[in-house]
Amino acid sequence: MKIKQMWKRSNGISGVQTHSDFKKSICIFSASKILILVVGILATLLIPIELTHRQTAIDNWFLNSWAQYDARAYLDIAENGYNSQFPGGGNYAWYPLYPLMIKIFASAVAFIGVSFSFSYGLSAFLISNIFSFVAVYYLYKLTNQEFGNSKIAKRSVIYFSLFPTVYFLTAMYAESLLIALSIASFYYAKNERWFLASLTGFFAGMTRIQGAFLFFPISYMYFRSKEYKIKNIKANGCFLMLPLTGSAVVMLYHYIITGNAFIQFSTQAAYGRVLSLPWDSFMSAVLKIANATSLQDIFYHVFNIFMALGFLALAAWSFKEMKKEYGIYFLISMIVPLSSTALLSISRHNLAMFPAFMLMAKLSEKRKYRLIFAPLYVIFFVLLIFFTARHVNEWFIFNLI
């Protein structure tokens, strides 16, 4: 009863209905999580290893399935710290909060008798999956409070749960942590709890550089609450710098251990990420389509262009349908990954752009938009299954992301 009363007070709508939609949202996301785990297990066991480039990072077949690609960098930082021995010139491109949490959790797990090797993988897997539910919790709460409609909030979770790269919230990646902290920062700012908004932003800034850019929407919300008048600004306005400080701390640490505060960017260059104008990435993708030698290459670049253009359109649309802070965050979140010479992993970055799912849920109140999103998400559902199978095997024959 206390839970229902809390929902009713905070949202001004039926507490029973809201609580029911929240439980359904958790069930929907749980079902998506189970599907991803099942697909991952079957893909690992049934796809011949000679067709894959699966790497062994953990001596446990189940955990190792979710320790592919960037996960190895996070595990390496957790176990060995930042170093130049990691393939590609070092592991400096990955931010430290997630691997730091892995190390702390792994030490606690190892204390009860589990081997350190296994404890790192188990810790990384558990942290990622626990924070994926935290992300959904805050997505539901923020959407429900923003629109005053639990149905829209539930629908935002559905769109989020079936997005084709949502499997990254099961893999040993920092996506779950970044998304949970980013949405929490927005939620606390919306409720004018500026220290918590800034503190979660600080930790987001230590999770990935995109977290630092929470400074802009949070600051906008703060100054709006003060009616844009300098005389109304209080001492708590100093907290707004915390998201930027989070990433600055990472750069300072890099400077201390390497003498180069910007080493993360040179490391990124080894993986094909070089700072460039946003439209260069599109031009590069078009040229690669023109010179493609296989259908898989064509699909790869067409898919990236479709996702990039689609989310740019949603970012522009969000300024019309949502409050400006969402558009500010959305647009900056798009510009950062696009400011490269290639559209690499754009659909993974799209996953962290949570205003997109809120916007689609709001638009779906109208039948004409439901008719657009429904078939799109049928395709997304198929791609989710396929991408999950590919990811756990580093299946470069179908390297689409």
- Decide which of 285 and 197 is more confident: 197
Who's near 104: CB < 8 A, 6+ residues apart? Answer: none
DSSP letter for 50, please: G
Q: Taking the complete model, does pTM exceed 0.85, yes or no?
A: yes
Percentage helix, strand, coil for the chain under 3-state DSSP, each rounded to 5: 75, 0, 25
Cα→Cα distances 328→6, 332, 353, Å: 30, 6, 11
In this prediction, residue 15 carries a pLDDT of 62
Stretch (H or E) spanning 131: helix 116-147
**Mean pLDDT across 240-258:** 98
> Which CA distances in Å does 265 have to 100, 132, 201?
21, 27, 21
pLDDT surpasses 90 at 294: no
Per-residue pLDDT tens over the stretch 257-284: 999 999 999 888 877 778 888 888 899 8
Q: Give the residue among 322, 379, 376, 385 at the shortest CA–CA distance from 354.
A: 322
Helix (H) or strand (E) segment spanning residue 328? helix 324-338
pLDDT band at 14 (very low <50, low <70, confident <90, very high): low
Could you tell me what percent of the chain has a pLDDT over 90? 76
Tokens of 86: 């990691």
pLDDT tens-digit map of 43-70 = 999 998 888 888 889 989 999 999 999 9
Note the pLDDT tens digit of each residue in 173-218.
Answer: 999 999 999 999 999 999 999 999 999 999 999 999 999 999 999 9
pLDDT at 30 over 60: yes
φ, ψ (nearest 5 deg) of residue 32: -60, -40
The candidate with the shortest Cα–Cα distance to 131, out of 187, 177, 100, 181, is 177
Residue-range domain boundaries for the chain: 2-398
Cα–Cα dist 383/388, whole Å = 8
User: Cα separation of 136 and 180, whole Å?
Assistant: 8
The token pair that represents 265 in the structure block: 């960017």
How is residue 38 written in tokens?
């099942």
Mapped onto helix, strand or coil, the DSSP state of residue 305 is: helix
- 349-376 burial by CB neighbour count: b if 16+ within 10 A, else e? bbbbbbbbbbbbbbbbeeeeeeeebeee
Any idea how long the chain is? 401
Distance between first and last Cα of the chain: 46
What does the pLDDT read at residue 16?
63
In the predicted structure, residue 1 carries a pLDDT above the cut 80:
no
